[in-house]
A = this chain, B = another copy of it.
């Protein structure tokens, strides 16, 4: 298989885009990525999206977006893996280029969640859970995460306030990201006073509902070396699944699919967790940050929260995470999130992250999680020059 690079990136701000439709948002990110890559016509388009049917009565969004973007005729599909749809689309684009099927493939993540009532979005998000065994009993997606958080606190003896560092870090990083939905700093006091959503999860443990689109252009590495940008190579793309239903897991506090996909990514790239300069992880809820750090090899079992308590996850820490605000504060338009993570990793590796720039970042990891850990895709990216 061929070495692959990300040649271009594009994104819209995450916001309540009531004046833009799904295809508008998609077009803006796609065109920005093509402009950035300086390639006019890609050959394949993979659209990461979870909820276009449920919230916009629209499927077939691959063809829809290709046409609206002036690329009528181009091969285009929608890829869905719940909240990991974005990274799944990126993986397909990587696969198409690595396997030699085409030279220019675009991964586009897009989600439009705020047009209807918030209850509709909440109900549709529960499609990421097991409809017959979880959804049927009224378990919303936040309720599933609340069960995990409650159990984690019980098993390891943490208090809710111990998780504050994750939310504080994401919000602090978002303050200087022009594409962030919630660019306001928060304090530990605000974290503790936040309204409950599903105990112990509060509003400030949770990512919000937003609209957004992000795109990345994948090409063979040798084609990228002619780019005016620093070259960002895809060192690894790896994926694994677990049960959709939380009760079926061998251990509800270990994200096995995250572990397997991270291990595969390390093996594929010849790297380890210690080598990473940053980690764009899936902080849909603060508990997911802790579990991701543990499953991916950055902290022992039960010690993921300790990294937040000790400040190791800030931009000045041992392992900066969510460097442009993460799902919590940049925003979490579900099917788009995985592509936002890759776009932001490229920003860091190119040195284009502005006030959020990590000095000398050369190796970064992005991990996108679908469901409560059912579908996990990990990418490792490296700056080449």
Listed in ascending order, the chain A residues whose CB lies under 8 Å from chain B are 1, 21, 50-54, 56-60, 62-64, 66-67, 72-82, 88, 92, 95-96, 98-101, 123-124, 126-128, 130-132, 135, 239-244, 248, 256-257, 260, 370-371, 374-375
Flag if A53 contacts B256 (CB, 8 Å). no
Oligomer: number of copies = 2
Nearest-neighbour CB distance to chain B for A139, whole angstroms, equals 12
> Residues of B contacting A64 with CB < 8 Å?
130, 244, 374
Supposing A73-B260, A77-B80, A99-B98 touch, asked if A241 and B67 sit within 8 A by C-beta, the answer is yes
Q: Would you list 24 pairs from A and B whose C-beta atoms are within 8 A, ordered by A residue?
A: A1-B100, A53-B127, A58-B127, A58-B130, A60-B82, A60-B128, A62-B241, A63-B241, A63-B242, A63-B370, A66-B241, A72-B243, A73-B242, A73-B260, A74-B240, A75-B240, A76-B241, A77-B79, A77-B88, A92-B92, A96-B99, A98-B99, A98-B101, A99-B100
Flag if B100 contacts A57 (CB, 8 Å). no
Flag if A95 contacts B96 (CB, 8 Å). yes
Taken together as a complex, chains A and B put the C-alpha atoms of A75 and B240 apart, in Å, by: 5
Which 5 pairs of residues, A with B, have the shortest CB-CB distance? A99-B99, A60-B82, A63-B241, A63-B374, A59-B127
Flag if B78 contacts A79 (CB, 8 Å). yes
The listed residue with most B CB atoms (<10 A of its CB), out of A58, A67, A244, is A244
Flag if A75 contacts B239 (CB, 8 Å). yes
Supposing A80-B78, A81-B78 touch, asked if A60 and B375 sit within 8 A by C-beta, the answer is yes
Q: Which of B99, B128, B240, B241 contacts A95 (CB 8 A)?
A: B99
Main DSSP-derived SS at the A contact region: mixed
> Residues of B contacting A124 with CB < 8 Å?
53
Supposing A56-B131, A79-B78, A370-B63 touch, asked if A1 and B101 sit within 8 A by C-beta, the answer is yes
Flag if B244 contacts A63 (CB, 8 Å). yes
Taken together as a complex, chains A and B put the C-alpha atoms of A277 and B269 apart, in Å, by: 47
Q: Which of B50, B99, B100, B371 contacts A63 (CB 8 A)?
A: B371
> Residues of B contacting A78 with CB < 8 Å?
79-81
Nearest-neighbour CB distance to chain B for A160, whole angstroms, equals 28
Flag if A62 contacts B92 (CB, 8 Å). no
> Residues of B contacting A82 with CB < 8 Å?
59-60, 63
Nearest-neighbour CB distance to chain B for A9, whole angstroms, equals 22
Flag if A243 contacts B58 (CB, 8 Å). no
Flag if B126 contacts A57 (CB, 8 Å). yes
Q: Which of B50, B59, B95, B375 contacts A76 (CB 8 A)?
A: B375
Nearest-neighbour CB distance to chain B for A210, whole angstroms, equals 18
Of all chain B residues, which has the CB nearest A97?
B99
